[in-house]
Amino acid sequence: MYAGKSIPWHGTMIAIACLTGTIAAAQDTKIMLRVADHFPATGHPTVEGATRYWMEQVTRQTDNQVQFQHYPAEQLGKAKDSLSLAQSGVADITAVLPSLVSDKMPLSTVAELPGAFSTSCAGVRAYSQLAKEGILAKEEFAPNGVRVLFSSMLSPYQLLTKKEFSSLKDFAGLKIRTAGGAKDLAAVRVKGVPIRMAAPEVYESLSRGTIDAIVWPLNGLATYGLQKLVRYSTADENFGNVVINYVISEARFNKLPDNVQQVMLAVGEDATRRACTRVDNQAVDTVESLKRAGITMVTLPSSERVELQSLMKTVGTEWAEGLDKRNKPGTQVLEAFDAALRKGR
């Protein structure tokens, strides 16, 4: 009713048609999202196994409603600034490594603890439960105003050196590049000196001798050309891992249409599974290719392997206790992650 008069039937139909057209127009509106990370445009296991797949599938499943501009290799900002890039809107979606923003996300480095699991899928499956709906979502991602779209983890990190080694004592005093977090503690356990450094800086540092060794996933060496600089690697050890979360700010996510939100999250689950499966399936081939490149895989004496595993187990306890002292639920998160790992076995 308007001014006491009835709206003619044909007027009502026009109004409905206009409303329907408005909804359809909203659905047809193209959405361009900027995705930023610090990985090379091609070759990186996460980019190849998850990032590109996720973007392609979201575009396809929204009938081209959503499209992406990918900015690799720190084009929009440094890796250490990835969280703030998403928060500020410089990028819509960024790759956040908790170890590089450990001042803001110390609890999320739980999945980077050495020795906790032996495959990428085991680790990322447990971690995702905590990051999307569990304690990490509540304690870290929500307070930082972002949500996880998909995650990936590489193969368990090995310790690789430029010079030959045959025993744990050979690691003493080495300047070892780490990605921060728990891997700093792992380097200290073998009496090395941890040097925290983003991946794009490593090649030059190894070349110049600024660092002597690296803690690195074997399937990520070739991406940065590092197989040309290291000659020896531990075999079948676990010096930790890295968690790679592609996140979007809650503010930006909430502005997206419901159908887009649902597709992004559903494809994110697929991308997470796809990436870890790819990493695990390629593990043997990766080792063989590195051997052909001239890298010697060194199996430590059995007694030292037991000693190393014992040393690595203490890292988790120290990590949790350190966070507890800062009034953060380190022990609670560690227990939740361990429970998720057991559930997934």
pLDDT at res. 345 = 74
81 and 209 co-located in one domain? no
81 and 184 co-located in one domain? no
pLDDT at res. 27 = 56
125 and 256 co-located in one domain? yes
Cβ neighbours of residue 66 closer than 8 Å, sequence gap 6 or more? 30, 31, 33, 58, 59, 260, 263, 264
64 and 188 co-located in one domain? no
169 and 217 co-located in one domain? yes
Amino acid at 132: K
Q: Indicate the residue among 256, 281, 306 that finishes a domain.
A: 281
Q: What is the pTM of this model?
A: 0.85
Distance, in Å, from the CA atom of 321 to the CA atom of 315, rounded to the nearest integer, reads 10
pLDDT at res. 28 = 65
Asked if the structure places residue 256 within a domain, the reply is yes
Asked if the structure places residue 22 within a domain, the reply is no
178 and 211 co-located in one domain? yes
Asked if the structure places residue 11 within a domain, the reply is no
Sheet containing 193-196: order of strands: 193-196, 175-178, 213-217, 157-161, 232-234, 296-298
C-alpha triplet 147, 148, 153: angle, nearest 5°? 155
Sign of CA dihedral 324, 328, 330, 336: positive
Q: Indicate the residue among 281, 303, 331 that finishes a domain.
A: 281
pLDDT at res. 53 = 98
Asked if the structure places residue 336 within a domain, the reply is yes
Asked if the structure places residue 45 within a domain, the reply is yes
Q: Indicate the residue among 227, 259, 281 that finishes a domain.
A: 281
228 and 307 co-located in one domain? yes
- Quote the number of domains for the chain: 2
Averaged over successive runs of 10 residues, the pLDDT of the chain (345 residues) comes to 39 41 57 96 93 98 98 96 98 95 94 89 96 97 98 95 97 93 90 92 96 95 95 94 96 98 98 97 95 97 94 93 97 97 88
pLDDT at res. 6 = 39
Domain encompassing residue 138: 30-153+243-281
Asked if the structure places residue 48 within a domain, the reply is yes
**CATH number, domain containing residue 102:** 3.40.190.170
247 and 214 co-located in one domain? no
226 and 330 co-located in one domain? yes
pLDDT at res. 271 = 98
178 and 320 co-located in one domain? yes
Distance, in Å, from the CA atom of 167 to the CA atom of 280, rounded to the nearest integer, reads 27
Asked if the structure places residue 52 within a domain, the reply is yes
202 and 313 co-located in one domain? yes
Asked if the structure places residue 19 within a domain, the reply is no
109 and 257 co-located in one domain? yes
SS (H, E, C) the chain: CECCECCCHHHHHHHHHHHHHHHHHHHHCCEEEEEECCCCCCCCHHHHHHHHHHHHHHHHHCCCCEEEEEECCCCCCCHHHHHHHHHHCCCCEEEECHHHHCCCCCHHHHHHCCCCCCCHHHHHHHHHHHHHCCHHHHHHHCCCCEEEEEEEECCCEEEEECCCCCCHHHHCCCEEEECCCHHHHHHHHCCCEEEECCHHHHHHHHHHCCCCEEEEEHHHCHHHCHHHCCCEEECCCCCCCCEEEEEEEHHHHHCCCHHHHHHHHHHHHHHHHHHHHHHHHCHHHHHHHHHHCCCEEECCCHHHHHHHHHHHHHHHHHHHHHHHHCCCCHHHHHHHHHHHHHHHC
